[in-house]
A and B are shown apart, each in its own frame.
Chain A
Amino acid sequence: MVNHRDAELWEDFRNGDDYAFSQIYSIHSKKLYCYGLKFTSNSTLVEDAMQDLFSDLVKTRKNLGTTTNIQFYLLKSFKRRLFRQITKEKRYDLDKDEQQYVFEITYSIEHDIILEENASQKLQLLKKALETLTSRQKEAIYLRFTEELEYEMIAEIMNMSIESCRNLIYRTIKSLRSVLQSSSPNISLLFFFQKQSEN
């Protein structure tokens, strides 16, 4: 998807237009900050990564390539810098060590008031299921549904093939849905499923 407004804004920025820069910052800074806080609760690291990212953008603007999706460009570059900061602090390499990879999300389920019949029961099930997702699943879902990125972009940010990215998201959605399917009025079945998932 080509975003002409982004392409133009980016072009203006590369050509030294300072309005364009402050505009890019004001549109994206909050999103980057929120994304960063999912990987670490240390906001200093997040801020350092942001400062690092934007300072470098200004410094190297003449040598930057074109982009038609500024948000994607920034997220990707920001994540790399944030991982560098986290690695420096914790002394382990996040890119290599999947075990240490954290992506924490608080889902808004409990805060939304949905007056749909049966919905609260269903939401409780979803909530439980969401808690069991892996960090990679959570991140992929976040990039897809909160940042609304295309599969190719998510794949690139998460360092995986497009195919496995698509699969990861599809499987995650399917697992969430299967939780709901079991929540039919048949209570005993529901109970059975919950027991199963606890094992």
Chain B
Amino acid sequence: MEHKKYELYTTEDFILDKEFAHWVLFPNSAEDSFWMSYQSLHPEKINLMKEAALIINSLKPINPEIPEEKLEQIFRKIKYQHKTRHRLINITIRYAAAVTFLLTIGTVLWFSVKKNDPFPVEASLSSPQKGKVILANGTVHEFETEKTIIKQTVTGKTAINNDTVNVNAQEKTTNNPGLNQVIVPYGKNSEITLADGTHIWLNSGSQLSYPPKFDDKSREVYLSGEAFFEVAPDKTKPFYVNTSEFKIRVLGTKFNVSAYKEDQTIQTVLLEGKVSAGKNSFLAKTVDLSPGERLVYDKKDDEFKKDQVNVNLYASWINGYLIFENEPTTTVFKKLERYYDQRIIANEKLDKITFSGKLDLKENIRDVLENISFASQVKVTEENGQFIIN
């Protein structure tokens, strides 16, 4: 935008200027800087601009509150009309299965993941892979720290372990906004702060993608692996976590998501606030979660199950320890494998044995396994850098 354009502007011109009006109606930090600097360079225009802003603001209507249920109801009618037509041509509708969920239909925005590939880089996560931050402009930054702190500033810049690395996000074209991507290999983890204040702990063997700058309507991130979210509240911009199979809608809350590709289930556990989750498919039903509840999606059975859990078990990893409560030992070992990037081979019959207790992840894996062996009477041997458990 050029300052010169505004030289002869009258109040009316400012009001009718799309960019100016948009800035007045929907103030945002990206345009703030432009208009602030314009004002400081052209103080003679300030009164005109104030007057223009006053008039633009006076044009704002009060829109009646339209209840979501109303809109959902209309949506259902539209779909129903469409469906009955199908039924006539004798297509069976699997209604019964669908109705078992308690649900609000589809005002949640479902993105088709195939179009916006959230993970543009197919990363192999095994060691000796380093952690990576791939910025939307394509630049790749590697890191080797055990725990990496990544911060996105309000202006769209990114800092890794306190070193600023990014180019200005505004320089990106808006038509095809790329995503920043953080890849954490097994044995490492990362803590990410987004520009809106949302805090995300990314566990070992996980990837998270997010735009350099959220758009005006929503905040969307993409997760593969495990992460704990502390979402900054913003009622006007719901926060969405997309996983390969389902999507979680959030308004400001604390929750954990575990969505490893190789696991048979995807889980989310809510600590505070409110979230709803649903499959990434059309007419997806969403399930609402309350604090203390866990939602498990079984990929094989294509089913959601909701239950009450001790939420602290699921969030403990961000503080450097794991708590288990009657967890099959195989699950425990799987988590340790990821965390330490160590192969653990467990005898199948151990599946029946469960483990309860707290493991300090700051210790090395040998000590951790020894603790388990002591508590659950399994035998741990080390062979060629692998741990074998009987």
Which listed residue (A17, A29, A59, A146) contacts B74, Cβ 8 A? A29
Which listed residue (B60, B64, B107, B283) contacts A34, Cβ 8 A? B64
Query: In the complex, what residues of B have CB within 8 A of residue A176's CB?
Result: 55, 58
Query: In the complex, what residues of B have CB within 8 A of residue A163's CB?
Result: none
Confirm or deny: B121 has a beta carbon within 8 angstroms of a beta carbon on chain A.
no
Q: How far is the CB of A154 from chain B (nearest CB, A)?
A: 12
Which listed residue (B15, B63, B108) contacts A26, Cβ 8 A? B108
Confirm or deny: B97 has a beta carbon within 8 angstroms of a beta carbon on chain A.
no
Query: In the complex, what residues of B have CB within 8 A of residue A148's CB?
Result: 18, 21-22, 25
Indicate the size class of the contact surface on chain B.
35 or more
Which listed residue (B78, B109, B176) contacts A27, Cβ 8 A? B109
Query: In the complex, what residues of B have CB within 8 A of residue A55's CB?
Result: 78, 81-82
Which listed residue (A17, A29, A109, A146) contacts B58, Cβ 8 A? A109
Complexed CA–CA distance, A54 and B72 (Å) = 13
Report whether B57 and A177 are in contact in the complex, using a CB–CB cutoff of 8 Å: no
A residues 17-66 in Cβ contact with B at 8 Å: 17-23, 25-27, 29-30, 33-34, 37-38, 47, 50-51, 54-55, 58-59
Confirm or deny: B385 has a beta carbon within 8 angstroms of a beta carbon on chain A.
no
Q: How far is the CB of B111 from chain A (nearest CB, A)?
A: 7
Confirm or deny: A8 has a beta carbon within 8 angstroms of a beta carbon on chain B.
yes
Q: How far is the CB of B59 from chain A (nearest CB, A)?
A: 5
Which listed residue (B16, B54, B59, B111) contacts A180, Cβ 8 A? B54
Which listed residue (A4, A29, A180) contacts B55, Cβ 8 A? A180
Q: Considering only CB atoms and an 8 Å cut-off, how many residues of chain A contact the other chain? A: 54
Residue of A nearest to B176 (CB): A4
Report whether B25 and A177 are in contact in the complex, using a CB–CB cutoff of 8 Å: no
Confirm or deny: A86 has a beta carbon within 8 angstroms of a beta carbon on chain B.
no
Complexed CA–CA distance, A119 and B62 (Å) = 19
Report whether A23 and B61 are in contact in the complex, using a CB–CB cutoff of 8 Å: no
Which listed residue (A17, A50, A106) contacts B61, Cβ 8 A? A106
Report whether A177 and B115 are in contact in the complex, using a CB–CB cutoff of 8 Å: no
Complexed CA–CA distance, A22 and B72 (Å) = 11
Report whether B12 and A23 are in contact in the complex, using a CB–CB cutoff of 8 Å: no
A residues 145-199 in Cβ contact with B at 8 Å: 145-146, 148, 169-170, 173-174, 176-177, 180
Interface membership of chain B positions 258-298, coded 1 if the CB is closer than 8 angstroms to chain A and 0 otherwise? 00000000000000000000001111000000000000000
Which listed residue (A8, A26, A126, A142) contacts B106, Cβ 8 A? A26
Interface membership of chain A positions 86-114, coded 1 if the CB is closer than 8 angstroms to chain B and 0 otherwise? 00000000000000000001111101101
| Interchain Cβ contacts within 8 Å, total number | 129
Confirm or deny: A130 has a beta carbon within 8 angstroms of a beta carbon on chain B.
yes
Complexed CA–CA distance, A157 and B98 (Å) = 40
Confirm or deny: B51 has a beta carbon within 8 angstroms of a beta carbon on chain A.
yes
Confirm or deny: B66 has a beta carbon within 8 angstroms of a beta carbon on chain A.
yes
Complexed CA–CA distance, A159 and B70 (Å) = 30
Query: In the complex, what residues of B have CB within 8 A of residue A177's CB?
Result: 11-12, 15, 51, 55
Query: In the complex, what residues of A have CB within 8 A of residue B63's CB?
Result: 34
Report whether B12 and A51 are in contact in the complex, using a CB–CB cutoff of 8 Å: no
Interface membership of chain B positions 1-34, coded 1 if the CB is closer than 8 angstroms to chain A and 0 otherwise? 0000000000110011010011001000000000
Known: A34-B63, A177-B11. A116 touches B50 (CB 8 A): yes
Complexed CA–CA distance, A35 and B211 (Å) = 32
Complexed CA–CA distance, A145 and B63 (Å) = 14
B residues near A, CB below 8 A?
11-12, 15-16, 18, 21-22, 25, 50-51, 54-64, 66, 70-71, 74-75, 77-78, 81-82, 106-112, 115, 175-176, 217, 280-283
Nearest 5 A/B pairs, CB to CB: A18-B282, A34-B63, A126-B58, A108-B60, A106-B62
